[in-house]
Every structure is written in C-alpha cells, then in structure tokens.
Amino acid sequence: MHIKVLGSGAGGGLPQWNCNAPNSKDARDGHENVKPRSQSSITVSADGRNWVLLNASPDIRQQIFDTRQLHPHNDGPVRNSPIQAVVLTNGDVDHVAGLLCLREGHPFNIYASARVMKTVDANSIFNVLNAEKVNRITTPLEQSFEVNSPEGPLGLTITPFAVPGKVALYLEEDDGSGNFGTEEGDTIGLEVKEDETGKIFYYIPGCATIDEKLAARIKGASLIFFDGTLFTNNEMLDQGLLPKTGERMGHMNMSGENGSLEAFKDLGIKRKVYIHINNSNPVLRDNSPERKVVTDAGWDVSYDGMEIEL
C-alpha cells in the first residue's frame, strides 16, 4: 500500500497567513530548521495509479501540483485525474474546503459519516461538484466499506469509527452542555485496509482523548497517523495566539500525563506518525528539545511529501 502525506500542518498551515509568532515567521523567512507545511491530508493507493484522498484541504491545488502521483496520467484522455475518491474525517474547514477545488467535472466518490455529510449537504456551495459525476456516500460508523471510484473498486476497504472529539468550529452551539453540540460521528478515525495484502493502518488526525475502546482498537497496529496538533494544552494561550486550550478545541496534546506520548507508550504500535501539527507546536522546529522528546519516544513528525510503503 502506498501512502503519501500531502499536508502535515493543522488548520492555517505553517506559516499561517496572519501569524508572526516564531514558527510562522521562521518558516516564512526560510529558516533551515522550520519547514513550511500545508494543511492536513494524505493520499493512499493500492495500485500506485488510482488514489484516494483522506480529507481535502484548502491547499489541495498546490498539494496536487507538488505530488507527481496526483498529476493527470499522460496515457489518459485530456481530462483525467488519478484522484478517485475522498474520505472525510470531520467537517473542519481544513479538511473539507479542498472539495471546492475538485470541480471541473471529474467523476469521484465522497465518503463521510452521516453527521459530516449533513454539513456538506447543507452548504450549497458544494453543489459546484456536479451531482451526476460526484457521488456522496454516507458511511455508517463501524461498518466496513469498499472504497470505489465511480467505475469500480480501488482495492482498499475502510472502517470508519467515532473518536472523542468536537464538532467543527463553525457548527459549535453554545448550548451550555459543555460539548458545543458535538454528536457521535462529528470526528471519526479510519482503519484503512489493503484488500490484497490485508495490511492495515489507522488515520486519526483529530482526537480529544484515547479511551479504552480506542486503545484496544489500535493496539499493536503497524502504522498510525495521529493528532499532533499541540505539544502542550496551553501553548496557544502562552504564545498569545488564541485564548483556547487544546482541550477546548478537541485535540489532545502530546506531552504530560494526559498526552498522546504517554497514552501510546504501551500500545506496541510499530510506526507512529504525528500529523495535523499546529503552527504553535515546538516540534515543528527540527532542532527543538520537544522534537527530540517525540522522536526519542519513537514518533515521526510527518512532513509534506513524506512517503510510506506499507
């Protein structure tokens, strides 16, 4: 199975357009230890020719340009694209806005939970995707589905499952419940299986906590991409960027006793890769002590263009 990281950053990317905090400033200035990152998305293929996107980021046009695997096939008709399907893990702007760039009449399938598809359906701007060519397929949680192009199977089977998280920022309701109107299916993880080999990886770019059910599911996995938004819960407050904790945003941080480094310690996962890394996170600096902490704990910090063969 072929996997390529199109974007490793969280919403806003690195540098973020209106941010001059050290990570963004240094990325903008071409600092050798702080590489720019686009917004999170990966692409997967069983045959190396037809590709599935996991989320569609606002940076998708540039991501396609930078990714030779996603260029139109030279042996195809004048209009063609290797992108055959898009699977969404939530309704966040950084994960759905790229759908708008996939107009121009190319046939593909969109897969999403009922909650996320409801958001897509409710926003008429997505009707720019011609309904005769772009199929919207709602996928029930915990039910495996074959990922298809409009023409047939792509050799991958995905199982979507709910993970602890939060509804998209623009859908938050201040209903006093403390969960901002979040319902099951607002944030999901994906188990991606290659049919021919049975190889599996997990894609969880947003997650608020690892409960027992999630820990049992991912235990012993060969590969996981996981929410790397923040190193510490308070880092956006500490840097004067946003008066919100990671907890409030539905993202667990890396460090500390409630962090992902600790939660993954005994899960026996062979390869662990952080993705959806916010521009505030010190691990984005190649030579930072925090980067050393996560790499010493066996984690990779993903970067745009990273390729993994499973």
Do the beta carbons of residue 81 and residue 107 sit within 8 Å?
A: no
Which one of Mn ion, ligand MLT, none is in contact with 4 (Cβ closer than 5 to 8 A by kind)? none
In the range 104-143, which residues lie near ligand MLT by CB under 6 A?
none
The answer to the question of residue 92 lying near ligand MLT (CB under 6 A) is yes
Which positions from 150 to 169 touch ligand MLT by CB under 6 A, shown as an x/- string? -------------------x
Contact positions with ligand MLT (CB under 6 A) in 212-251: 249-251
Work out how close the CB of 41 gets to ligand MLT at its nearest, in angstroms, rounded to a whole number.
12
**What type of residue sits at position 107?**
P
State the minimum distance, in angstroms, from the CB of residue 93 to ligand MLT. 5
Is residue 19 near ligand MLT by the rule CB under 6 A?
no
CB of 9 or CB of 82, closer to ligand MLT: 9
Q: Does 13 bind ligand MLT (CB under 6 A)?
A: no
Least Å distance, CB 276 to ligand MLT, is: 7
C-beta of residue 125 within 8 angstroms of C-beta of residue 56: no
Closest residue to ligand MLT in the complex (CB): 11
Residues that bind Mn ion (CB under 5 A): 10-11, 92, 94
Nearer to ligand MLT, 204 or 249 (CB): 249
Residue 11 in the binding site for ligand MLT (CB under 6 A): yes
Backbone φ and ψ for 158, nearest 5 degrees, come out as -120, 140
CA of residue 162 relative to chain centroid, distance: 15
Q: Does 206 bind ligand MLT (CB under 6 A)?
A: yes
Which entry of ligand MLT, Mn ion, none binds 249, CB below 5 to 8 A by partner kind? ligand MLT
Q: Which is nearer to ligand MLT, 154 or 168 (CB)?
A: 168
Nearest-approach distance from CB 55 to Mn ion, in angstroms: 9
- Residues near ligand MLT (CB under 6 A): 10-11, 92-94, 169, 206, 249-251
